[in-house]
C-alpha cells in the first residue's frame, strides 16, 4: 500500500500570537464533525509552545479555527520543560484528556535534555494543566539519557506506551550527537509506568541514530507502527507486530519518502496515522522539522 494525494494543509503564518515558526508533530483529536490538530510552534527564542487548529479532513484546506493562545507553554524556570514543550499523544479516558508531551531543557555538556511530561484537560481539550511540575518519565536505570515522544493506547485496562529512549551521546566533529531508539512500558493508570528496558525498534545500520515520535494502531490481527528515523535526514518508516512488543521493520512497504520537489522534498517526519472509513490518513511534517507546515497523505 502506498500513499497518494499528498498535500500541504496548514502553514504557520502568525495565525495567533503563539505561532511564529513551525507547526511540528501534528496530533489529532476528533471533536464532533471536525478534527482538532495540536502542533508545536516556536517563539522568537526558539522555544516550542503547543496549540491547535481545527478543520475537517474532508475539506482540509478550510481552516475552521486556531486557538488564540497556546494550551501548553514552556514550564517555570528550572523545570524539566522550561526550554520548550512539543506535542506527542492524546488519550481520552474517564472524562479527561491525557496529553502526553515532551519537555525540553538546555544542557551544558550536551545541547539539551528531554523528558516525557503529562498534562490533563477537563474541558475536552480546550485547556490543559500539568499533572505535575516534574516529568512523567524522568531519567532512569533503563533510560539513563532521555525519554521523549510517547504514544499511548489503552487495552483491557492496561495503558501501553511506545516511547523514544536515549542510549548515548557521542562526541563528533560537529559536537555531541544524541542516539535514541523506541522502547515500551506499561501502566494501570496512565501515570505510574513500569519500565523494563524493552526495545521495540532498534538501529538497523551504523548510520541511523534517531527515531521520531511513533504512532501505533491496532488491527484485528496485528499492531502497526509508523515512525520517523534518520541518518542524514528523517524518513518515515513502518513496522508490524503480533503483540505490540516484538516488531518487524518493513520501512519500504508502507513508509513515506520525500517528494521530488517542494515543502517535503528534503525530509518527511513525525507521522500520525488515523482511519477514515476504508482508508488510512497520515498527518506529517516535511522540511525543517515542521517549519514548512503540516501535510496530509491518503492510502492508495
pLDDT value at residue 1: 63
| Angstrom distance (rounded) from CA 279 to CA 298 | 7
Residue-level pLDDT at 254: 80
CA nearest 87: which of 73, 69, 77? Answer: 73
β-bridge partners, 86: 102
Pairing, β 147-155 against β 158-172: antiparallel
Cell numbers placing 24: 511540528
User: Which residue in 107, 207, 101 sits closest to 164, CA to CA?
Assistant: 101
Closest residue by Cα to residue 10 from 20, 23, 1:
23
Which CATH number goes with the domain that contains 65?
2.115.10.20
Q: Give pLDDT, residue 2.
A: 84
Identify the CA nearest to 168 among candidates 155, 158, 177: 177
Residue range of the domain that includes 106: 3-299
CA angle (64, 126, 131) in 5-degree steps: 150
Q: Which three cell numbers stand for residue 222?
A: 496485528
134 Cβ contact list (under 8 Å, min separation 6) = 80
Number of domains the chain contains: 1
pLDDT of residue 297: 95
Answer whether 88's CB lies under 8 Å from 150's CB.
yes
Q: β-pairing, 84-93 with 215-218? A: unpaired
- How would you write the pLDDT of the chain (300 residues) with one tens digit per residue? 689 889 999 999 999 999 999 999 999 999 988 999 999 999 999 999 999 999 998 888 899 999 999 999 999 999 999 999 999 999 999 999 999 999 999 999 999 999 999 999 999 999 999 999 999 999 999 999 999 999 999 999 999 999 999 999 999 999 999 999 999 999 999 999 999 999 999 999 999 999 999 999 999 999 999 999 999 899 999 999 999 999 999 998 887 899 999 999 999 999 999 998 888 999 999 999 999 999 999 998
- The three grid cell numbers given for residue 51, joined into one nine-digit string: 496549540
User: Could you write out the three-class secondary structure of 77-144?
Assistant: CCCCCCCEEEEEEEEEECCEEEEEEEEEEECCCCCEEEEEEEEEECCCCCCCEECCCCCCECCCCCCC
pLDDT at res. 165: 98
Q: How far apart are CA 270 and CA 149, in angstroms?
A: 10
CA atoms within 13 A on the CB side of 267: 21
* CA R_g for the chain: 18
Rounded Cα distance, 271 and 284, in Å: 4
Looking at the whole model, is its pTM more than 0.85? Answer: yes
Amino acid at each position: 500500500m502506498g500513499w497518494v494525494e499528498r498535500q500541504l494543509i496548514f502553514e504557520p503564518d502568525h495565525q495567533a500570537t503563539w505561532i511564529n515558526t513551525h507547526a511540528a508533530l501534528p496530533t489529532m483529536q476528533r471533536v464532533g464533525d471536525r478534527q482538532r490538530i495540536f502542533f508545536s510552534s516556536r517563539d522568537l527564542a526558539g522555544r516550542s509552545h503547543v496549540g491547535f487548529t481545527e478543520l475537517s479532513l474532508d475539506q482540509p484546506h478550510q481552516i475552521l479555527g486556531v486557538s488564540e493562545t497556546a494550551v501548553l507553554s514552556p514550564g517555570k524556570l528550572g523545570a524539566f520543560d522550561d526550554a520548550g514543550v512539543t506535542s506527542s499523544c492524546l488519550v481520552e479516558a474517564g472524562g479527561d484528556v491525557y496529553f502526553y508531551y515532551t519537555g525540553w531543557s538546555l544542557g551544558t555538556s550536551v545541547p539539551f535534555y528531554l523528558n516525557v511530561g503529562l498534562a490533563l484537560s477537563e474541558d475536552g481539550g480546550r485547556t490543559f494543566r500539568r499533572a505535575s511540575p516534574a516529568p512523567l518519565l524522568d531519567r532512569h536505570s533503563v533510560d539513563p539519557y532521555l525519554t521523549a515522544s510517547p504514544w499511548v493506547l489503552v487495552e483491557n485496562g492496561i495503558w501501553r506506551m511506545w516511547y523514544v529512549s536515549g542510549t548515548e551521546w557521542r562526541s563528533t566533529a560537529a559536537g555531541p550527537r544524541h542516539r535514541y531508539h523506541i522502547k515500551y512500558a506499561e501502566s494501570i493508570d496512565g501515570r505510574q509506568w513500569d519500565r523494563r528496558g524493552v526495545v521495540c525498534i532498534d538501529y538497523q545500520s551504523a548510520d541511523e541514530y534517531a527515531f521520531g515520535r511513533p504512532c501505533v494502531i491496532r488491527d484485528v490481527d496485528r499492531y502497526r507502527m509508523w515512525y520517523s528515523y534518520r541518518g542524514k535526514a528523517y524518513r518515515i518508516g513502518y513496522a508490524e507486530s503480533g503483540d505490540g512488543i516484538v516488531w518487524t521493520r518493513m520501512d519500504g512497504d508502507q513508509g513515506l519518502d520525500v517528494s521530488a520537489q517542494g515543502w517535503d522534498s528534503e525530509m518527511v517526519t513525525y507521522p500520525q496515522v488515523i482511519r477514515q472509513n476504508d482508508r488510512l490518513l497520515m498527518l506529517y511534517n516535511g522540511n525543517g522539522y515542521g517549519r514548512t507546515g503540516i501535510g496530509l497523505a491518503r492510502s492508495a
